[in-house]
Amino acid sequence: MILPAANRPAAVVLPVVPMLKISSLSKRFGQRQALNNLSLHLPPGEIYGLLGPNGAGKTTALNMLCGLLKPDSGEILLKGQPVSAATKLLVGVMPQQNLLYQSLTCRETLSFLARIYGISRLELPDRVHDCLKAVNLADRANDVVGDLSGGMQRRLSLAAAIIHQPKLVVLDEPSTGLDIEARYEVWELIRQLKQQGVTVLLTTHLLDEVERLCDRIGIIKQGELLAEGTLETLRKRIPAAEVVVIETQDENEAIARAKSHGFTPRRYGNDLAFWIPELLELPELLSRFSGLTVDSISRHRVGLEHIYLEITQDQTNPPQLSL
C-alpha cells in the first residue's frame, strides 16, 4: 500500500562525508611558517585546483596528505579517517616529475606497482590492461618506458596513480612540459576520473588548466588560504565588467584620463590595463582616451590570471604606475 504524502515518514538525508577534509592545518620549519591554519573540504567527485606562488605551502600540504610529513597542529581526514597506513589505498599521487623505472616496460611498471598495493596475481593482468587502456597506452604495453615520449610518460604516471583504484587522486603539475596535444589528452583523462566519481586535487601554475578543469579553486600564499570558490564566485572579487589593455606612449596621461572616468589601473607584467566597471561600445571606450595616441587596445573578460594576481599581490600598496 502506498501511503498518502502526509502520512509518509520523512526521508532521512545522510550527510555527505567529504573525500578530503583538512582542518586548521599548521606546520613550521624553523622560523618559516609553511602552513598557517589551512582548511579545505573536498566532496566526492570534485576537481579542486590549489594555486599559489612557489613557497606558498602546496607541497607541504601534499606531503602531509600522503603521510610523508606530520602537521604541528590540525587534522587531515580521508573519507572520515585520519591519515594512516589504512588510508594509503584511498589516495593516488601523480608527482610533478615522472618517477618511473626507465628500463621497465609499461606493463612491468604497472604490474610492479599493483603488487605493492596488494592487488592479487589473478586480478593483476586485467587491472594493468584497463589502466593502460584508460590512458591510451594499451598498444604500448611492451614498450620500454625510456623509449616513450614525455607525453606518454606523463600518461603512464597517471596510470600508476590510479592502478589501485583510489578515491582521491593528487595531481602535481600534471601537464607541465607537455605539448598542447598531450596536454589536451591529460585533461580529458582528468575529466574521465571526475565522471567516475573520483575526487581530484590539482596543483598547477597553468591558470588556463584550472579554468578549464576545476569545479572550485583555492588560492594560498605563505601557508594561508586567501580565497576559495568557483571561478564565477572569484570573479566577483574584481569589480569590473571587463579588463582593457592599452598600448600607448603616453601612459601617464592614459592613467590620469582613465581614473577620471572611474577606471581602475593595473599592471599585468608590462601591460597597462584598466578595470572597466561597465561594458562600453568600442567607439565610446576609445572616446575616453581621445587625443591620445593609442597603438593598440584589447578587451578581456575578467580571468583567473587577473584574480590570482589581485589576491596574491599586495594591492594595499600597488606598484607605481607612473613612469
Contact yes or no for 65/40 (Cβ under 8 A): no
Question: In the prediction, which pLDDT does 97 show?
Answer: 85
CA–CA distance, 16 with 80 (Å, rounded to integer): 10
Question: In the prediction, which pLDDT does 313 show?
Answer: 84
Site of grid cell 602537521: 71
Domains of the chain, CATH where assigned: 20-231 (3.40.50.300), 237-312 (3.30.70)
User: How do strand 199-203 and strand 224-229 relate by DSSP bridges?
Assistant: unpaired
Contact yes or no for 78/20 (Cβ under 8 A): yes
Please list the helix, strand and coil fractions of the chain in percent, rounded to the nearest 5, in that order. 35, 25, 40
Among 323, 206, 224, which Cα is nearest to 270's?
Answer: 323
Q: Where are the beta strands (DSSP E) in the chain?
A: 20-29, 32-42, 47-51, 73-78, 81-82, 91-94, 168-172, 199-203, 216-221, 224-229, 242-248, 264-268, 271-276, 294-300
CA–CA distance, 105 with 123 (Å, rounded to integer): 19
User: How do strand 81-82 and strand 216-221 relate by DSSP bridges?
Assistant: unpaired
Partners of 32 in the beta sheet? Answer: 29
Question: In the prediction, which pLDDT does 248 show?
Answer: 93
Contact yes or no for 222/33 (Cβ under 8 A): yes
pTM of the model: 0.88
Question: In the prediction, which pLDDT does 289 show?
Answer: 92
Contact yes or no for 88/67 (Cβ under 8 A): yes
Walking along the chain (323 residues) 10 residues at a time, the average pLDDT comes out as: 53 72 95 94 96 91 91 95 91 91 96 94 95 93 95 92 96 86 88 94 93 96 95 94 94 94 93 95 92 92 94 59 34
Contact yes or no for 50/203 (Cβ under 8 A): yes
Question: In the prediction, which pLDDT does 314 show?
Answer: 60
